[in-house]
Structure 1
């Protein structure tokens, strides 16, 4: 989400990316940590897409696969049994979000015909990592990301290198508790959420 530099109207600020269903960018976030990818080894088969397990890639559907297998494309870094708009935000290093149906017998792991619904926060096993700072993607806006003004009171994330089709206008340099704590030279305020919900962005 983003705020314009002078106004306070909150507007949708993200492009959407998906494997199973869409997960919009720019939900609350902070700077990614390398430890976000250091999850436990896969427990493939125990629970459908539990933390540490891996999925295949696919335009309309992703299956759980062994992390050591050649089909493995991404690993679950967080899993929540709720709708993404109602549940906790994904970790900052998340590359995309998978939305999981409440009933998918073909993916059932324990034979009861049901798979817990919710969403899985995914990290690609190999580059690119759109959720990393400045890469122009992922479900969160974080310190180091770049945005451009998409309209009155609206910003969207784009790659800082200018490879996302739109040139960056601002880079988020700080995350603070309120606007008054932003440093001099801040030209735009961006909603990050979390304990430091205000992103201070400078022109680039």
Structure 2
């Protein structure tokens, strides 16, 4: 085999390796598929992306089948603010600006250990943010939110601008450790949870 033929063979092999390398680098980072339409999901099973399924700062997809995806993916819809095991009623409260709570089952994908069942506190990557003050949504009532009386001894959150199903009756203007620390002008005490569990609300 002459020198020119050997050189041509090496060039062909190097070109093939380069093509294979480029193809591997162009594979989608999230490795996930599923419907892209629909509102914020409420439950998910572990389908896998990172080391820990939907750990803090990870992102979830939108649609009926929730997956963990790269936060830079076009499929990413919300980011994990906090992740806890157990039920939301038994565990720590979600951060104040949480838009919705994602309930996670304990099943794991093939080849990976099952993850602890629990819940993730999610923040949408884009507006609207129902968890923001005054927007009338989110799993927590926080300072700046508005409420109305739904029945004796119970209030529900509604949008402060009146765009909700019910008009606002009170606005939570401060949060304190105990009722005695609310201003004398307080019209209603609202349970908020957290380290300042008492909301001091005023009529609007």
TM-score by length of 1: 0.74
Q: How does 1:1-204 map to 2 (within 5 A)?
A: 19-21=41-43, 44-58=49-63, 60-105=64-109, 111-204=111-204
User: 5+ unaligned residues in a row in structure 2: which ranges?
Assistant: 1-38, 44-48
Structure 2 vs 1, CA of residues 132 and 97 (structure 1 numbering), >3 Å: closer, same or farther?
same
Q: Could you give the per-residue CA deviations for residues 91-132 of structure 1, whole angstroms, max 9, x where no partner exists? A: 111111100001143xx6xx2352221111100000011111
Greater relative CO, 1 or 2 (CA 8 Å, sep 6+):
1
Q: Return the index of the structure with the highest Cα Rg.
A: 2
Query: What is the root-mean-square deviation of aligned Cα atoms in Å?
Result: 1.7
State the partner residue of 1:34: none
Is the CA contact 2:40–2:62 (under 8 Å) kept in the aligned structure 1?
A: no
User: 5+ unaligned residues in a row in structure 1: which ranges?
Assistant: 1-16, 22-43
Structure 2 distance, partners of 1:74, 1:125, is 5
Is the CA contact 2:158–2:168 (under 8 Å) kept in the aligned structure 1?
A: yes
Structure 1 distance, partners of 2:65, 2:101, is 12
4+ long deviations beyond 6 Å = none
Equivalenced residues, count: 161
State the partner residue of 1:36: none
